[in-house]
Every structure is written in C-alpha cells, then in structure tokens.
Amino acid sequence: MKRKEQLHKLSSEHHGSLVMAKRIAKIAEEGNEEELLEAIKTVQKYYDDELEEHFQHEEHTIFAPIFKVHKEHIGLAKPLLKEHGLIRMLIPALTPDTARDGLATFAALLKDHTRVEERELFPAIEKTFSKEEFDAVLNFKPI
Ligand SMILES: [Fe+2]
Ligand SMILES: [Fe+2]
C-alpha cells in the first residue's frame, strides 16, 4: 500500500529503526565485550539524536488525535504508547554488566513496535484521519 505523503518522514525513520534493530540484535547475539559497549553508545546516541523526537512526533500528531477523536484506534495505540515508555526507560538502564540482554531487549522491542506501526497503525489512520490531521503530522515541529 502506498503511504500517504504526510507520513513519509515517519515511515523513512521507521526504515532506519528496523536497520538499527537488526544491527543491534546481531551485536547482542555475537558481539564481543568491546562491540557491546560500543553498541550501548550507538543506541544512546540514536535515541538522543532521532528516536525521542520520533516518539514525540507520533505522540503529538498521531496518538493525541486518536485518544481525542479516533477512539476506535485506542486499542491499537495504547500498547504502542506504553512501548515508547518502555524504550525510554530501557535506554538509560543499558549498562556494561547487562549489555547483551539489554541490547537484545531493545532491538526486539524496537523491531516489533515499528512493524506494528507500519503494518497496522499507519494503514488504520490512513483511512480515518482528516486532511487537517495529516497536515499536522507533516508540519510537526519538535519542542
Ligand atoms: Fe512509535
Ligand atoms: Fe514510530
């Protein structure tokens, strides 16, 4: 299905998330100690530079209108919003001692989360959001 133009930025960020998740999952599985420590830094930088803003973009322009107006999607949005919280808590909790498990959890969570948004959430809102709501997605400016 062709994505609505206003969702292109978020969708292209999703592609980046899937690439990141795959890379981190591989390191969690077979990386040595040095690679695991490097991966923690990579993930924390990725979160600071991109992922937190991506979450806010979705929360302000997609989840908020769902909770206010498009309540039929709440069942879909609620666990996704909770996962934003889980990922936010996981990032500062990544430590050298638990790097392998922590990175594996992060990678799996990010992959599954992103897939549900692309395969279920975006197709659902493409059917129900108004032009104004899509324009708000397009014109989002981080705070
Ligand atoms: Fe999300
Ligand atoms: Fe997303």
- Mean pLDDT, residues 17-46 taken together: 98
Q: How far is the CA of 51 from the centre of ligand 2 (A)?
A: 8
- Mean pLDDT, residues 27-32 taken together: 98
* Contact call for residues 25 and 108 (beta carbons, < 8 A): yes
Q: How far apart, in Å, are the Cα atoms of 25 and each of 38, 85, 95, 110? A: 13, 20, 16, 10
Q: How far is the CA of 5 from the centre of ligand 1 (A)?
A: 18
DSSP 4: P
Q: How far is the CA of 55 from the centre of ligand 2 (A)?
A: 6
Ligand having the closest approach to the CA of 76: 1
Max CA distance (Å), the chain: 50
Domains assigned to the chain = 5-138 (1.20.120.520)
For 42-65, the pLDDT digits (tens) are 999 999 999 999 999 999 999 999
- Mean pLDDT, residues 61-82 taken together: 98
Q: Does residue 88 have a pLDDT over 90?
A: yes
DSSP 92: T
Q: How far is the CA of 67 from the centre of ligand 1 (A)?
A: 15
Banded model confidence at residue 70, pLDDT cuts 50, 70, 90: very high
